Structure 1
Amino acid sequence: MAHMSPAVNLVWATLTIMFEFFLIYHLWSFDRFKSLKWNHGQYSGPFKRVMTYSYLTSIPLIIIYAVGFTIIKYSYGFTVIPGLGITPTPYELWSDSARSAILPLYLCFSVAWGLETVTHLEELCFWLFLVHSSSGKQDWFRSLYFKTWAIGSGIAVIGMPLVTTFTRHDPYKCESYTFLAGSLGSLSLTIWFLPILWAFPTFLESLKQADVDMNTIARLTKFHELNCIRILFRFLFTVPLVILAIDGVRPHQHINDKMFPTDLLGMIAVIGCVVSSGITLVIFFPRSIKGEISSREAARERHQLSKSKTFSENHINGQRRGQHMSAYELPRYEAEDLDLYTFRPTQNIVIDDIEDEENPKYGPRDVSPSLSLQPNRRTKDGDIQLGTVFTLTDDALSRHNTALRKSNVHHLVRNWRSPLEIGEPPLWHR
């Protein structure tokens, strides 16, 4: 962006900062940042860590790049150059400190682009693996698609900074070749996603024929629609940068030496980048409004139960201290029943972790797909807990149906919630 106007840099900085605020809000609403912990949940292996932290690291790096150039460009403004007219002040007229910041800012952008390639290459390889999977027991981590992702991610993360470093002698060429390498790679991934989008309706129809539950079908349909929108904005992100990059590496520029097309393509690119990244965030961390409401209601009920128990104990202790009760003291079981029926209403508990036989954490369970009853139980402190009614959530019902319906459909399709939720082999935990 050494030759773009300050307004383009300001648009990049503004939109990326706004997206960062949206990311923070979304992750807070999703699980109060629990998913960002090093060890969280059954999928907290190296694969999830690489995917999560590579994606979340790329956004701040882009912000640094955009904000840094915005400050520099507005500090020097425009300059009248004979034969060219009024143009953004060239980097040759910047101070030494400003010129020394060009390479670090470009490196931030190239590293961010490499990390972003890790994200999109994984999704491409994963869905190619599932769509072309001929057996329900094929292992993603031993497939050619996973190896392709691992090798491609390494090339992107290492190669992008090297391109920037090797062309650092000329900031214009450095920018052009960085944009060329990154945009061609991202454009290739975007084009490769088109066959998946084309084949996905047929893939969904095959799942219906295999009697996959409707919750899984609805979840994958939502993913397909979001991905169609995201691919459109991915083209808006990559194509303008490809045009600017190809024109920049040519001996004679036809676009980069004109302010209007350069600024227009730069602004379109950042809109495509931010919108597609926002959709990626929603796919990676899919919020469940129903689950969030249930969690808040459960927390409120636990708080009310705690207050009721405290009030009950204080009430009985006060009566005993004041000698207002009869000399005849109720037996323990009658006092417990009086306390229980007075202050402890029956509550509904939602089960969100019904394990099937493919995950032997707890072993197979015989659970009704609608309701299940639990008898009265005595707790460790001697209190009696009333029987409750268990209501299966959509996720638990999906896993229950998976145990009942055996087919050639890959288990990752049935259990898929996010590109981050892929079970890892034992080798990754060693």
Structure 2
Amino acid sequence: MPSPPTFLAWAILSCLLGAFLFFHLWKFDRFKCLRWENGPHSGAFKRVMTYTYLLSVPLIIIYSVGFCVLSYDVGYADIPGIGVVPIPFEFWLPKYHRAIFPLNIVFSFSWGLEMVTHLEELCFWLFLVNAGKVQQDWFRTFYFKIWAVGSILAFAYMPIVTIVTRSNADTNTAATFTAGSIGDLTLTVCFMPVLFQFPGFLRNLKSEGVDINTIVRLTTFHELNRIRVVFRFLFFAPLLILGVDGLTARAVVNSSLFASEFLAFMAGIGCMVSSGITLVIFFPRSVQSEVQARNASREKSQQMRTFQSTQHSEYNSSYSPRSLSPQKSSAPPYSSHPGGENLVISIEDSAMIKAPVLAPGDPVTGSHPAATTFKTFAPNRRLDSGAKIHGGVKIVGLTEGNLAHHNHQSSNVHPFVHNFTSPIGTFVGLASFRADLMPIAA
């Protein structure tokens, strides 16, 4: 039976999930991941997975807040022999009763989108664990085909079940719970082999010499997946019990106010926590990279202000206080090269010389990965104006992508692993390798 406190708990939890979603995406890349054209690697697959997950969160908020408002408006009834209980669906006023089916449809679409997300992760992790050194294209694998077909079925059958059973509100709710729980149960059970294979997969990566940053990311995601599986069980198992019991004639569990509310509370906690972990896995933040990029930007701004202040002081000192005509300054406006040619250095060039070199931004997280420096030789160059730029030994940043490109050439693991960032962000790995090499080749 519908319980106002149950829907209130769902509404609070879903709104907290929405707030966490808003905060996380802002800290992640200032909502850049929501753009349709989010960089050169924002293909159709990445768009589908991004919008599929992000759309499921507001839908669950609409469902929970809507039923919370309706259930408190309807209130309780004092039934002789039973006591004060929430008014069952069949006794709701028509204006409230008409809103039950639309809210259940919203919930079915949200659950269908969530199963699309879970199925993609299942197929992706199976692909990653079983992939060898051969550079298989994810979009041509059997796992991707399973995801494509399964996603269509999951997104279609949930609303169909809700529409077919719309004649009775109690049956409609119970059938929606049962259909979604069976789908989630199937996906979660199929995900269990991945959890058992992953420790061995990590040991193999360590023996192959995969860089430590990738090992840390994969280990973190493994721990998050283990926690999320527990909360996924807490989500669908109580709703499966309530749904199957609601389809029976006696409805033993749903007749008990304590049992129904307890199971619904547990399901709400499991739903919101597992969805929050999915957000962290799909859009992983690197706090270390964020702090490094913030400090580098702050230092660059401070150096730029110091340089401009120095230039301003030298400019003022080069003029006589009694005359408007400029005097000779001890500091020349240009630098002399040993070859006799003079090369003017602008303020911007000087700032770039003093500023720390930042590695190219990560194509998925938008943050700056840590760079390893090495020495390279640059030859002398002559400009069209005749000025000569003397070369020499330069310090160049070797980004994590370049390190991954170097490591995977002699490794027996898939190239995606070396550049792994998230289940929806690793499919640009080879392109990222080539992009990272361009500054070095230049």
Q: Is the 8 A contact 2:133 2:415 kept in 1?
A: no
Q: Is the 8 A contact 2:228 2:277 kept in 1?
A: yes
Residues 119, 200 of structure 1: alpha-carbon distance in 2 compared, 3 angstrom cutoff: same
Q: Please list, as runs of the form range in 1=range in 2, the aligned pairs for 1:307-326 lying within 5 A after superposition.
A: 307-308=305-306, 310-311=308-309, 314-315=312-313, 318=316, 319=318, 322-323=324-325, 325-326=327-328
Over residues 307-331 of structure 1, what are the superposed CA-to-partner deviations in whole Å (9 max), with x where a residue is unaligned? 3454455445544584352399946
| Alignment partners' CA distance in 2, 1:194 and 1:417 | 22
Q: Is the 8 A contact 1:8 1:266 kept in 2?
A: yes
- Match of residue 280, structure 1, among 278, 281, 286: 278
User: Match of 1:69?
Assistant: 67
Q: Please list, as runs of the form range in 1=range in 2, the aligned pairs for 1:227-376 lying within 5 A after superposition.
A: 227-308=225-306, 310-311=308-309, 314-315=312-313, 318=316, 319=318, 322-323=324-325, 325-326=327-328, 330=332, 332-333=334-335, 346-352=354-360, 370-372=373-375
Q: Is the 8 A contact 1:168 1:174 kept in 2?
A: yes
| TM-score, scaled to structure 1 | 0.85
User: Match of 1:33?
Assistant: 31
Q: Is the 8 A contact 1:16 1:63 kept in 2?
A: yes
Aligned-residue offset at 1:265 = 0.3
Q: Please list, as runs of the form range in 1=range in 2, the aligned pairs for 1:208-223 lying within 5 A after superposition.
A: 208-223=206-221
Q: Is the 8 A contact 2:372 2:399 kept in 1?
A: no
Amino acid at match of 1:414: H
1:397 has 2:403 as partner: yes
User: Match of 1:419?
Assistant: 423
Q: Is the 8 A contact 1:4 1:259 kept in 2?
A: no
Q: Is the 8 A contact 2:357 2:397 kept in 1?
A: yes
SS at structure 1 position matched to 2:358:
strand
Aligned-residue offset at 1:345 = 7.2
Q: Is the 8 A contact 2:300 2:356 kept in 1?
A: no
User: Match of 2:157?
Assistant: 159
| Alignment partners' CA distance in 1, 2:64 and 2:362 | 46
SS at structure 1 position matched to 2:26:
helix
- Match of residue 80, structure 1, among 59, 78, 102: 78
Q: Is the 8 A contact 2:14 2:272 kept in 1?
A: yes
User: Match of 1:104?
Assistant: 102
| Alignment partners' CA distance in 2, 1:337 and 1:343 | 10
Aligned-residue offset at 1:181 = 0.6
Structure 1 runs not aligned, ≥5 long: 356-367, 426-430
Amino acid at match of 2:212: M
Q: Is the 8 A contact 2:133 2:411 kept in 1?
A: no
Aligned-residue offset at 1:397 = 2.9
Aligned-residue offset at 1:209 = 2.7
Residues 331, 222 of structure 1: alpha-carbon distance in 2 compared, 3 angstrom cutoff: closer
SS at structure 1 position matched to 2:135:
coil
Aligned-residue offset at 1:151 = 0.8
Aligned-residue offset at 1:113 = 0.3
Residues 27, 340 of structure 1: alpha-carbon distance in 2 compared, 3 angstrom cutoff: closer
Q: Is the 8 A contact 1:349 1:388 kept in 2?
A: no
Q: Is the 8 A contact 1:216 1:398 kept in 2?
A: no
Over residues 184-234 of structure 1, what are the superposed CA-to-partner deviations in whole Å (9 max), with x where a residue is unaligned? 101111111111101111111222232322222222111111111111111
| TM-score, scaled to structure 2 | 0.83
Q: Indicate the structure whose relative CO is greater, using CA pairs within 8 Å and at least 6 residues apart.
A: 1
Q: Which moved more, 1:254-263 or 1:209-218?
A: 209-218
SS at structure 1 position matched to 2:357:
strand
| Alignment partners' CA distance in 2, 1:155 and 1:74 | 35
Aligned-residue offset at 1:369 = 5.4
Identity %: 44
| Alignment partners' CA distance in 2, 1:304 and 1:66 | 49
| Alignment partners' CA distance in 1, 2:118 and 2:347 | 58
Aligned-residue offset at 1:169 = 0.8
Q: Is the 8 A contact 1:352 1:395 kept in 2?
A: no
| Alignment partners' CA distance in 1, 2:216 and 2:238 | 34
